[in-house]
Amino acid sequence: MSLLHFAIIAPLLFACFIPFLFKRLNLIHTGWFVLGLSIILFIYFLRFLPDIQHGGIQETVNWIPSLGINFTAYVDGLGLLFALLITGIGSLVSLYSIYYLSKEKEDLGSFYVYLLMFMGAMLGVVLSDNLIVLYTFWELTSFSSFLLIGYWYHKKRSRYGAQKSMLITVFGGLAMLGGFLLLYLMTGSFSIREIISIADGIYGDPLFIPALILVLFGAFTKSAQFPFHIWLPDAMEAPTPVSAYLHSATMVKAGIYLVARLSPVFAEHGLWLWLVAGFGIFTLAWGSFNAVKQTDLKAILAFSTVSQLGLIMSLLGIGAAALHYDYLDDNLYMAATFAAVFHLINHATFKGSLFMVAGIVDHETGTRDIRRLGGLMQIMPVTFTIALIGTFSMAGLPPFNGFLSKEMFLAAMVNVLSLDIFNMETWSALFPVLAWVGSVFTFVYSMMLLFKTFTGTYQPEKLEKNPHEAPVGMLVSPIILGALVIVFGLFPNILSTSIIEPAANAISPALIDAGQSFSTHISFWHGLTPELYMTIGIVIVGAFLYVTLPKWERIYGLFPKKLALNHLYDQSLIRAESGSLSVTNSYMNGSIRTYMIYIFVSMVGILSFSIIQKNAFAFTTDGLAPMGLYEVVLGVIIAGASITILVAKSRLTSIIALGAIGYTVALFFVLFRAPDLVLTQLVIETISVALFLLAFYHLPKINRKEERMGFKLTNALVAAGVGVIVTVIAFSALSNRKFESIAQYYIENTAEKAGGLNMVNVILVDFRGFDTMFEIAVLGIAALGIYGMIKLRLSRREDT
Amino acid sequence: MRTNDIILQTVTKIVSFIILMFALHIFFAGHNNPGGGFVGGLLTSGAIVLLLLAYDIKSVANSLPIDFKIMVAVGLLFAVGTGVGSFLFDVPFLTHAFGEFTLPLLGKTHLHTAVLFDIGVYLVVVGSTLTIIQTIGEGE
């Protein structure tokens, strides 16, 4: 086990100690320990930066070698980028949570256990090379996210949000597992790197398309792509540090990671490009359009996250087109991949800081509703500054880093117009249009977020607390993130060579293998390009829309509530519940008669089906013994007694008719020369008739009406069916005898080997004595059971 | 109301012994003629049921101080013990052995371990039947 493995599972191991630290060292806020661990891990992963310029580092620990499932940790540009995000933002969030969560009021032990579980799981997802290990960690992120969303479990909305996110992400996770298994079937390996190396061979496989779609289900549910984005706004019931960490910077990017990681496997196919880019761009427009109508700060941020994730997703989709052009110089689509990675980092910085700002506002004023907030600029100047940096970066304004990646995004979308593969020409115009519309709305909600909260009239009477600037500790993390926004904005090239290029190369290794390398230079001023005009248009139209917002806000009311995705989700849950309830109630009615009908009907159905299917019916009269007078007479008696049982008015008559059948059967045994059976049958029949009479005598006096059994057509049909099918089978079996009976052996050996002349008894006690042993055990159990039932009357004792 | 059932009781005294004898005969004849532990056991309990009908549960319990539940257990022990016993001779479970032996008094006798097994069957059958009948009879 290498240090790398230890680093990955270190948060999980450390989580075991959290409860002790929380209970024993309760003078120190538990978050400080978590902060220490995250910083150590961050520094540890930073040290990998020089190594990954020329490829990855791989370490393996055997887990289940016989199944090809091993914990292989693989660090390359992409994995390292995510690992740095996870540990870096993790440190800042831990620091923020120390001031956000009160030591006295909150159950910090659970909080940090869940948080560390999540951090370890997330590191495992991004650094695993084995698909099954990746899936294991993937589900662990779902579970820890479920626990964190439901952290305030006494709130109904928290439980609702936790359940919703669980259902949706686990649904996607299971679909993804299916995709992984299909990949294994095609390639015979669980290792991502091996699969990539033989990806060309599986391109035409019939399982390829199903695998692609299933894997995308996993990625889209986790990364909140349309229409699976509905869990993310409800996950905002989690504590704000959790929202900042999981639902903006890390977990929701796991789907992005998956798409980027498996791009070399699937990107060759046009469907991948269409689905990833198409859903991404639509999610961008849909998310930003819906963000404008929200009134809760965190809800705006949630929809904003959805939209930004769509942006990154669409860039990754367009980046897949790079594989179809075998030159790297001037490869426009490789730039899309580059932009995706760049925006991923930028989004983590500004969205993290904005969530923290929302948390501070909530913490200091007691509300997150923008209709009640306003005029906080003078009261919280530092928070305002951070919010300004974050929102302007989100809107894509210079000189912040969002501007750069948004420009690259728009450039990529414009380049789609020149794409000439997979019938892209027909619909390619949609991409720049949707991108532009989405960006306009992004601008509108960014401005809303900033100005409705911090400018305007100050309404202290609507606030629950007397607001003032947040404590320094709470401000440190957002200040660091805000500073990064500016630093990355002004000096983007410190990122480009160190981390973005290795990550982009990891996403498109096929091009790198061809001996080419990709490098780019991010510059603010890149000439008068179409994207610059688009940005100017965005600012102008966005500003106009923001100012006239009250005038056109009503269009959101026009959208039918019935068609809203949340409504559909809720309705489908309710329908599924009531549907399964009514289905269960319809067939589990508690009546034995019904269940017997099910059993007999399925028996008749299965048997007759297989007889017809196998053409098994046969009827021969060969080898039948001649029928004598006695057999006919006894048969008539049995038939008469059976009919008597059915039509008798009195139960007593039925019991006696049953006894008559039993004695006639004994006579049949006489005829068929079975003396042992005759003896036993006579005695047993006597005893059972006596027991029937006993039961008859003890029938309750009320409701004891002497009446004939009612006639029910279904019963008659089912009974007739069973009788006919059993008779048919008996005839067929008799006519289909394939082998001689083994009875000859017993006849020859009874006296010689077993020392007895009564063959029946010798078989019972000697040849097959084992059966007899358990039959007498059954008899003993029956006796003890009757004894127990009669003597032990707990319920009656309670009554008296 | 007590009825005078002197005739029934006197006949029972004689008949029950005849039935018992017949039951023992059926039991021992089982290996070579129709019969065996099962029917023998049922007939034996038939004899005891006759006693129960003629007298009452208490007097039968006094004259036959047997706990029939224990009888079931003993019978099962016999059956299982016969099976386990074959391990002593390094043969599979429930392997029987037989042979002719010359005993003091009885002279040349044919002995068979299957009889031990049949005794188990016999005891279980008698014990179970009588447990059932006794409990139901006392149940009121």
Contacts across the A-B interface (CB distance below 8 Å): 127
What is the three-class DSSP state of A614? helix
* Residue owning tokens 């028996």: A603
Cα–Cα distance for residue pair A692/A47, rounded to 1 Å:
87
Q: Give the list of residues 6+ apart from residue A495 with CB closer than 8 angstroms, or none.
A: A342, A345, A488
A786: chain B residues, CB-CB within 8 Å:
131-132, 135-136
Peptide bond into A227 cis (omega under 30): yes
Gyration radius of chain B over CA positions: 18
Do A362 and A241 contact (CB within 8 A), yes or no? Answer: no
Residue of A676, A691, A784 with shortest CB distance to B34: A676
| Rounded Cα–Cα distance for residues A313 and A551 (Å) | 33
Distance, CA of A42 to CA of A37 (rounded, Å): 9
Residue A528's region, left for phi above 0, alpha for psi from -120 to 50, else beta, is beta
B101 inside 8 A of chain A by CB: no
> Three-state SS for A491?
coil
Q: Does B52 touch chain A (CB under 8 A)?
A: no
**DSSP codes joined into one string, A223-237:** TT-TTGGGHHHHGGG
Tokens of B109: 């006798």
Task: Give the start-to-end residue ranges of the domains of chain A.
Answer: 1-257, 267-500+519-581, 592-738, 745-800
Helices (H), A459-529: 472-490, 493-495, 501-507, 509-513
| B125 in contact with chain A, both atoms CB, cutoff 8 A | yes
Q: How many residues does chain B have?
A: 140
Identity of the residue in B38, B42, B139 whose CB atom sits nearest the CB atom of A790: B139
On whether any CB of chain A is under 8 Å from the CB of B109, the answer is no
Greatest CA separation for chain A: 116
Cβ(A240)–Cβ(A100) below 8 Å = yes
pLDDT at residue A603, as a whole number: 95
The angle, 0 to 180 degrees and rounded to 10, between the axes of the packed helices A430-454 and A530-547 is 40
Q: For residue A596, give the 3-state DSSP assignment.
A: helix
How close B104 gets to chain A, by Cα (Å)? Answer: 22
pLDDT at residue A514, rounded to an integer: 54
Q: Is B105 helix (H, G, I), strand (E, B) or coil?
A: coil
DSSP for A363-430? HHHS--BTTT----TTT-HHHHHHHHHHHHHHHT-TTSHHHHHHHHHHHHHHHGGG--STTHHHHTTH
The helix (run of H) or strand (run of E) holding residue A255 is helix A254-266
Q: Where are the domains of chain B?
A: 3-136
- Whether chain A has a CB inside 8 Å of the CB on B40: the answer is no
Say how far apart CA A171 and CA A181 lie, in whole Å: 16
Contact residues, chain A, for B92 at CB < 8 Å:
none
Instruction: Tell me how far apart the alpha carbons of residues A183 and A181 are, in angstroms, rounded to a whole number.
Output: 5
- Pick from A207, A86, A107, A204: nearest CA to A151: A107
The pLDDT value given to residue A28: 81
Q: What is the pLDDT of residue A132?
A: 92
> Which of A230, A256, A250, A393 has the alpha carbon at shortest distance from A312?
A256
Q: Is the Cβ pair B128, A780 closer than 8 Å?
A: yes
Interchain contact, B36 vs A764, CB within 8 Å: yes
Contact with chain A for residue B104, Cβ under 8 A: no
pLDDT tens by residue, A637-683:
999 999 999 888 888 888 999 999 999 999 999 998 888 899 999 98
Section B121-137 average pLDDT: 90
**pTM of the predicted protein model:** 0.81
A332 burial (CB, 10 Å; 0-12 / 13-18 / 19+) is middle
- Give how far Cα A549 sits from Cα of A108, A377, A464, A541, A554, Å: 42, 22, 27, 12, 9
A782: closest chain B residue by CA: B128
- ipTM, 2 decimals? 0.92
Q: Determine the residue among A765, A766, A774 to mutate to test chain B binding: the one whose Cβ has the most chain B Cβ atoms within 10 Å.
A: A765
Which residue type does A636 have?
A: V
Instruction: Tell me the two tokens of residue A12.
Output: 């999980």
Cα distance between residue A391 and residue A291, in whole Å:
13
The answer to whether the CB atoms of B72 and A784 lie below 8 A apart is yes
* CB nearest A786 (choices: B93, B114, B135): B135
| Contacts within 8 Å (CB) and 24+ apart, A675-681 | A675/B34, A676/A758, A676/A760, A676/A761, A676/B34, A676/B35, A676/B36, A676/B39, A677/A760, A678/B34, A679/B26, A679/B34, A679/B35, A679/B39, A680/B38, A680/B39, A680/B42
Please answer whether residues B128 and B72 qualify as being in contact, where contact means their C-beta atoms are separated by less than 8 angstroms: yes
Q: Residue A800's pLDDT is what?
A: 47
Nearest to A249 by CA among A365, A82, A364, A104: A82
Cross-chain Cβ contact A679/B136 below 8 Å:
no
Asked whether the beta carbons of B34 and B115 are under 8 A apart, the reply is: no
The C-alpha angle with vertex A494 and arms to A512 and A242, in degrees rounded to 5, equals 95
In the three-class reduction of DSSP (H, G, I as helix; E, B as strand; rest coil), residue A327 is classed as coil
Q: Say whether domain A592-738 belongs to CATH 1.20.120.
A: yes
**Cα separation, A649 vs A652, whole angstroms:** 9
By Cβ distance, the residue of A680, A754, A762 closest to B39 is: A680
Interface test with A, best of B135, B138, B140 (most A CBs within 10 A): B135
Chain B residues within 8 A of A680 when measuring between CB atoms: 38-39, 42
Measured between CB atoms, does B35 come within 8 Å of chain A?
yes
Give dist(CA A66, CA A40) in Å, integer.
35
Contact A784/B46, CB-based, under 8 Å? no
Residue B9 CA: distances (Å) to CA of A49, A388, B4, B55 = 107, 112, 10, 7
| Residue of B29, B1, B127, B124 whose CA lies nearest to A679 | B29
What pLDDT sits at residue A502?
78
Rounded-to-integer distance, Cα A706 and Cα A686, Å: 25
Residue B41: pLDDT band by 50, 70, 90 thresholds? very high
DSSP annotation of A296: B
**What are the angstrom distances between the C-alpha of A790 and each of A652, B125, B135, B136?**
24, 20, 7, 7
Cα gap A526→A528, rounded to integer Å? 7
Is B116's Cβ below 8 Å from some Cβ in A? no
What is the DSSP secondary structure assignment for residue B111, as one 8-state letter? E
| Contacts (Cβ under 8 Å, ≥6 apart) of A116 | A11, A12, A14, A15, A18, A34, A37
Give chain A's residues under pLDDT 70. Answer: 325-332, 419-426, 467, 510-527, 560, 562-563, 702-705, 794-800
Contact B94 A773 (CB under 8 A): yes
**Closest CA in chain B for residue A686:** B46
Residues of chain A in contact with residue B118, where contact means CB-CB under 8 angstroms, are 761, 765
CA–CA separation, A82 and A503 (whole Å)? 10
Cβ–Cβ of A761/B36 closer than 8 Å?
yes
What radius of gyration, in Å, describes the C-alpha atoms of chain A? 38
Residue B17 CA: distances (Å) to CA of A220, A418, A644: 88, 112, 39
